[in-house]
Structure 1
């Protein structure tokens, strides 16, 4: 791998890490503001429990948009790299992503029950 490729990969990884940190900070701020507006943690939990159906709709919509984007990207990747190696790597990532989503949803279901 050339030095330019390493720098490009490092820049992308740094950008992804920055986006992840910003998303986590935004989530923390939303929770803190919600707790303050609801009058405390108990009020915040009651509000979240009362609106759990809307959160489910939001997650399903987010999953649908993600699947659409993934299928679009997958078609482009298959057109660009028709050999079998890319397909195998992509299949492993798809299986891992589905297992992660299932694990998240099962944990949400277990917490609600």
Structure 2
């Protein structure tokens, strides 16, 4: 029997399996991401010689890092708009207002993050 046939026999078991599987995958992804971030920080601190040197480098290269983040934001926006065009026509019309609100909130969030990076970093000005 396939999983789809088993799901028809005992749907509660199938849902619990999916929840457990999704939880395990999420936890493993979080552990992997945390490990990668810790290793990256260890390498960067060893290369730069400490937190102060790291902060100085970040301040000195603010515009390069901003360009990199803007490139990432642009890539995410392009991927989102391609994905959005795949929505079925009727579903997109019904959820248009909600999606538009979420998109505006995300743009505002990105602007707030970038402004806070510029204003609140040591020596930052508008």
The farther-off stretch of 70-79 and 7-16 is 7-16
Structure 1 residue 66 displacement after superposition: 0.5
Q: Report if the CA contact (8 A) 1:35-1:41 is conserved.
A: yes
Instruction: Say how many residue pairs are matched.
Output: 111
> 1:49: which partner in 2?
59
Can you give the 5+ residue segments of structure 2 that lack an aligned partner in the other structure?
Answer: 1-10
CA RMSD of aligned residues (A): 2.8
Structure 1 residues 28-107: aligned runs within 5 Å: 28-79=38-89, 81-84=91-94, 86-107=95-116
| 1:45-97 superposed Cα distances (whole Å, 9 cap, x missing partner) | 1222222222111101001100100110111125372441x223312321221
Alpha-carbon separation, structure 1, partners of 2:20 and 2:107: 27
Report the CA distance shift for 1:89/1:108 in structure 2 as closer, same or farther (over 3 A). same
Can you give the 5+ residue segments of structure 1 that lack an aligned partner in the other structure?
Answer: none
| 1:2-50 superposed Cα distances (whole Å, 9 cap, x missing partner) | 7556765775566456445533442332122111111111111122222
Higher relative contact order (CA 8 A, sep 6+): 2
Question: Normalising to structure 2: TM-score of the pair?
Answer: 0.67
The reply to whether residue 111 of structure 1 matches residue 117 of structure 2 is: no
Report which of the two has the higher share of helix: 1
